[in-house]
């Protein structure tokens, strides 16, 4: 383990081993912010969208949550359909 340029001899821990390396998220790939079921998709491939536009409705924690785009662009691919169960951070939509 290297801290402040000094290499220490030491053992790792189970929690440390499970850690994933952080990387800059790709903001063209829109990930689910919450696990749930897709109820309705409000856009289609090729649509031009701007920040604030409605994207889809996801049922999670007993609520229908309308999800909006945080950033504009042209929709390249829609990776989910109504009825799909998605987990947190699952890829939903890819922008061009």
Partner 1 sequence: MSINKKIEALNQKRKEVMLGGGEKAIEKQKESGKLTARERIELLVDKGSFNEYDLFVQHSAREFGMADKVLNGDGVVIGTGTIDGRPICVFAQDFTVVGGSLGYMHAMKIVKIQDLALKMRVPCIGINDSGGARIQEGVDALAGYGEIFYRNTQSSGIIPQLSVILGPCAGGAVYSPALTDYVFVVDNISKMFITGPEVIKTVLGEEITQEDLGGARVHSEITGNAHFFANDEKECFSQIRKLLSFIPHNNKDKNTERKVEKPVANIDINNVVPVDPTKPYDVRNVIKAITDNSDFVEVMEKFAQNMVIGYGRIGGKTVGFVANQPLYLAGVLDVDSSDKAARFIRYCDAFDIPIVTLVDLPGYLPGVDQEHAGVIRHGAKVLYAYSEASVPKLTVILRKAYGGGYIAMSSRHLKADFVYAWPTAEIAVMGPQGAANIIFRKEIAEAADPNEMRKQKVEEYKERFANPYVAASKGYVDEIIVPDETREKLIQALKLSETKAKVKTDKKHGVPPF
The full length of the chain comes to 96
Q: Which helix (H) or strand (E) holds 30?
A: strand 29-31
Closer of 86 and 92 to partner 1 (Cβ)? 86
| Residue 73 binds partner 1 (CB under 8 A) | no
Point out which residues pair with 65 in neighbouring strands.
58
| Residue 83 binds partner 1 (CB under 8 A) | no
| Cβ 34 vs Cβ 61: under 8 Å | yes
Window 19 to 58, contacts with partner 1 (CB under 8 A): 19-20, 22, 35-37
Q: Nearest-5° angle of CA 78, CA 81, CA 87?
A: 90
Closer of 33 and 35 to partner 1 (Cβ)? 35
Closer of 48 and 88 to partner 1 (Cβ)? 88
Binding site for partner 1 (CB under 8 A): 1, 3-16, 18-20, 22, 35-37, 85-87
């Amino acid at each position: 383990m290297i801290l402040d340029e000094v290499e220490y001899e030491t053992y790792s821990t189970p929690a440390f081993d499970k850690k994933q390396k952080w990387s800059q998220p790709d903001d063209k790939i829109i990930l689910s912010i919450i696990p749930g079921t897709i109820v309705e998709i409000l856009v289609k491939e090729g649509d031009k969208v701007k920040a604030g536009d409605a994207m889809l409705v996801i049922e999670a924690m007993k609520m229908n949550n309308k999800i909006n785009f945080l950033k504009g662009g042209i929709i390249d691919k829609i990776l989910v359909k109504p009825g799909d169960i998605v987990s947190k951070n699952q890829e939903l939509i890819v922008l061009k």
